[in-house]
């Protein structure tokens, strides 16, 4: 399945706020570690290499 | 360790009369060169094998020999002995801190003659090979014969050899450079050996002790006994244990070898001081390869062609597989039964294998020694997640152990199982009267639920369509005929009985006739 590039989260503002909350009170280093864990967790959830490669390319080129 | 008597050095014939021209000269009597000579002899091809030394290798080198290596050694009569002498294992456990995060089983199914892995020191393996080579009339093994120069022309290579008795020259139609990672022949020919150096130092220690460790591989990331680094422990026969400790790039390699520093480090690993140091060395590791392994009449085999870091045991095992794919081809070329281009096929297959071995070894080494920045962050977070989330466990990489690669090959019959597709090692299975692997010694047509044709120069094995054999070769199909190469790799297969001409055409294509 190709990467979803259209909005796909029902409550984007709510998710964004939740993401920031997860980082609250963390040092820069701790935040970076949390983001890394999050990437790994979400990547596993996506699972499909094709979509993941596209995501990597999109992140890298923006 | 270097307890063995020196092997006898004899006066080479080339000193007293012109040295006869040899079909094949092999330089280097490490495991790769020794096996190459024996493998050629198996196909009736004589060779002369020169080594600058007169002893088996010293110190801590290879200990882990793969199932594939045991199968290869079995063909020259040494597999059963290695399996009997070695410590057999198949389970690896990986720890982070003090808790287990990952576990693998390298041979989860039954019905194979050889175990997944045995641990046996390289010098023992070399000793067995030397004994076999000395007893083999087609192998002319010469110790303390140092190759000092090499030149080649269209019909072969000429070596300048130095001995205790004086220098002489030796010419051969083909030259196998099995002269190790520092290959003097590679240097003399000015060939680049490109790749990656890992900026890390590892202490490798062999110790003797009474210890109660299961027959397994244990690997630790950041154990409490060696904070912030990694550690690996393997069991060898006779109460010897191999311990690898990561030291960091700044460690002083000379100081780290001294007993005053080594002993307290080991004491923390094993929890007592009741052990004896057998050997210690400090290594840095590389992953490098030649761009190609065939250079005219000179073929680079084993460490001279490619080196890897040892996590995954792909160095020696990979070298033995180089020989596996070469012996039958070179013997056929020498006998005039194959075209020289068959050796380019060998080169292509082993480049493919070297890339796979290097990719696996580099990934494991990078996981152990991440560079600062993203690499370090991800490595640490994978380890942290692994304790709680099963998905992260297979990302924990303490080495992916040597397994034969699948050579690129055409004509995979889609209906038959992937495990026995062309290009793969024909999987072993029990037969009513022994093991399949014991029957695959030359070109073989294996018929399962079908009668293979009588083809020129091919052995025939027929077996009933049942048990592990049927599972591994038939899948859902009712019958199959498999053409197996002399190295036990599947060359072609059919879900029917092919004609003799069809089978011969597949073989002739591989031999570039
Ligand atoms: C710490 C460590 C652990 C390892 N663990 C494993 C493991 O568990 N499993 C595994 O599969 N591999 C392992 N390896 C790798 C393995 O040891 C090598 O891949 C293997 O020795 C390569 O064999 P070779 O015959 O190609 O070369 P070598 O064993 O290096 O033999 C080369 C031979 O050539 C001879 N020679 C050199 N120059 C000349 C000359 N000018 N004239 C004549 N002779 C010459 C040398 O004397 C030597 O005998 C390990 C390596 C190390 C360092």
Would residue A16 count as lying in a domain? no
Is the pLDDT at B1 greater than 90, yes or no? Answer: no
Decide if B278 touches A, using CB distance below 8 A: no
What is the complex's ipTM, to 2 decimals? 0.97
Amino acid B2: pLDDT: 44
Residues 6 or more apart in contact with residue B16 via CB below 8 angstroms: none
Topology (CATH level 3) of domain B13-86+121-192+292-352: FAD/NAD(P)-binding domain (3.50.50)
Q: Ligand 1 atom 50: the closest Cα is on which residue?
A: B62
Would residue A44 count as lying in a domain? yes
What's the rounded mean pLDDT across residues B111-128? 97
Would residue A54 count as lying in a domain? yes
Tell me what percent of the residues of chain B surpass a pLDDT of 70: 98
Q: DSSP string covering B298-318, please?
A: EEE-GGGTEE--STTS-HHHH
Q: Kindly report the average pLDDT of chain A as a whole number.
A: 97
Would residue A7 count as lying in a domain? no
What's the rounded mean pLDDT across residues B482-498? 96
Q: Is B28 in the pocket of ligand 1 (CB under 6 A)?
A: yes
Question: In 10 A of CB A35, how many CB atoms?
Answer: 16
Amino acid B105: pLDDT: 96
- The closest of B478, B399, B461 to B218, measured between CA atoms, is B399
**Beta carbons of B391 and A44 less than 8 Å apart:** yes
Q: DSSP string covering B332-394, please?
A: HHHTTSS-TTHHHHHHHHHHHHHHHHHHHHHHHHHHHSPPTTHHHHHHHHHHHHHTT-GGGGG
What's the rounded mean pLDDT across residues B48-65? 92
| Cα–Cα distance, B315 to B303 (Å, whole number) | 7
Would residue A15 count as lying in a domain? no
Digit-coded pLDDT (tens) for B419-461: 999 999 999 999 999 999 999 999 999 999 999 999 999 999 9
| Cα–Cα distance, B495 to B430 (Å, whole number) | 21
Q: DSSP string covering B78-138, please?
A: -HHHHHHHSEEE-EEEEEETTEEEEEEES--S---SS-SEEE--HHHHHHHHHHHHHT-TT
Confidence category of residue B412, pLDDT binned at 50, 70, 90: low
Is B13-86+121-192+292-352's fold the same as B418-511's? no
Q: Are B495 and B459 in contact (CB under 8 A)?
A: no
**B375 to chain A: nearest residue by CA?**
A36
Domain boundaries, chain B: 13-86+121-192+292-352, 418-511
Digit-coded pLDDT (tens) for B209-246: 998 899 999 999 999 999 999 999 999 999 999 999 99
Domain B418-511 falls under CATH 3.40.50.720? no
Digit-coded pLDDT (tens) for B236-276: 999 999 999 999 999 999 999 999 999 999 999 999 999 99
Would residue A56 count as lying in a domain? yes
Amino acid B415: pLDDT: 83
Alpha-carbon Rg for chain A, nearest whole angstrom, is: 13
Is the pLDDT at B413 greater than 70, yes or no? Answer: no
Amino acid B58: pLDDT: 81
Would residue A45 count as lying in a domain? yes
Q: Is B33 in the pocket of ligand 1 (CB under 6 A)?
A: yes
b/e burial code for range B482-507 (CB count within 10 A of at least 16 → b): bbbbbbbbbbbbbbebbeeeebbebb
Would residue A40 count as lying in a domain? yes
Chain A residue numbers with beta carbons less than 8 Å from the beta carbon of B385 are: 37, 40-41
How many domains does chain A divide into?
1
Is the pLDDT at A21 greater than 60, yes or no? Answer: yes
**Domain ranges, residue A61:** 27-62
What's the rounded mean pLDDT across residues B69-82? 98
Tell me what percent of the residues of chain A surpass a pLDDT of 70: 100
């Amino acid at each position: 399945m190709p990467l979803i590039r259209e909005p796909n989260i029902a409550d984007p503002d709510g998710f964004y706020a939740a993401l920031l909350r997860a980082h609250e009170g963390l040092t820069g280093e701790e935040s970076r570690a949390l983001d890394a864990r999050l990437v790994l967790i979400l990547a596993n959830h996506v699972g499909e290499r094709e979509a993941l490669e596209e995501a990597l390319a999109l992140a890298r080129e923006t | 360790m270097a307890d063995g008597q020196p092997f006898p050095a004899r006066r080479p014939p080339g000193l007293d009369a012109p040295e006869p021209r040899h079909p094949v000269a092999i330089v280097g009597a490490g495991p790769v060169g020794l096996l190459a000579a024996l493998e050629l002899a198996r196909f009736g091809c004589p060779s002369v094998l020169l080594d600058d030394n007169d002893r088996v290798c010293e110190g801590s080198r290879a200990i882990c020999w793969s199932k594939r290596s045991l199968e290869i050694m079995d063909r020259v009569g040494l597999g059963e002995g290695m399996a009997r002498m070695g410590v057999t294992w198949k389970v690896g456990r990986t720890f982070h801190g003090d808790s287990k995060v990952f576990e693998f089983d390298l041979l989860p199914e039954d019905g194979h003659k050889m175990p997944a892995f045995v641990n046996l020191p390289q010098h023992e393996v070399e000793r067995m090979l030397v004994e076999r080579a000395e007893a083999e009339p087609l192998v002319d093994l010469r110790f303390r014969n140092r190759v000092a120069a090499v030149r080649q022309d269209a019909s072969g290579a000429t070596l300048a050899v130095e001995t205790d008795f004086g220098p002489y020259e030796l010419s051969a139609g083909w030259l196998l450079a099995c002269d190790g990672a520092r290959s003097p022949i590679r240097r003399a020919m000015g060939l680049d050996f490109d790749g990656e150096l890992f900026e890390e130092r590892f202490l490798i220690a062999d110790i003797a002790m009474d210890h109660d460790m299961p027959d397994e591989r244990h690997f630790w990331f950041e154990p409490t006994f060696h904070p912030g680094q990694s550690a690996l422990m393997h069991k060898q026969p006779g109460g010897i244990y191999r311990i690898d400790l990561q030291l960091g790039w700044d460690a002083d390699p000379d100081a780290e070898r001294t007993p005053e520093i080594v002993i307290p480090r080991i004491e923390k690993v094993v929890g007592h001081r009741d052990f004896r140091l057998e050997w210690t060395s400090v290594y840095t590791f590389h992953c490098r390869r030649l761009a190609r392994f065939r250079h005219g009449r000179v073929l680079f085999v084993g460490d001279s062609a490619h080196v890897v870091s040892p996590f995954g045991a792909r160095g020696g095992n990979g070298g033995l597989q180089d020989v596996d794919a070469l012996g039958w081809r070179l013997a056929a070329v020498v006998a005039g039964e194959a075209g020289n281009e068959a050796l380019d096929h060998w080169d292509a297959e082993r480049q493919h294998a070297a890339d796979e071995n290097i990719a696996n070894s580099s990934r494991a080494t990078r996981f152990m020694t991440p560079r600062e920045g993203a690499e370090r962050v991800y490595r640490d977070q994978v380890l942290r997640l692994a304790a709680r989330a099963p998905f992260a466990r297979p990302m924990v990489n303490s080495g992916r152990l040597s397994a034969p690669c699948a050579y690129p090959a055409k004509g995979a019959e889609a209906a038959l199982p992937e495990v026995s597709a062309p290009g793969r090692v024909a999987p072993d299975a029990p037969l009513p009267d022994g093991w399949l692997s014991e029957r695959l010694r030359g070109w073989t047509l294996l018929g399962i639920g079908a009668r293979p044709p009588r083809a020129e120069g091919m052995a025939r094995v027929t077996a009933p369509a049942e048990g592990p054999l049927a599972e591994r070769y038939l899948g859902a199909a009712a019958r199959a005929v498999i053409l197996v190469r002399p190295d036990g790799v599947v060359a072609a297969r059919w879900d029917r009985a092919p004609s003799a001409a069809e089978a011969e055409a597949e073989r002739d294509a591989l031999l570039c006739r």
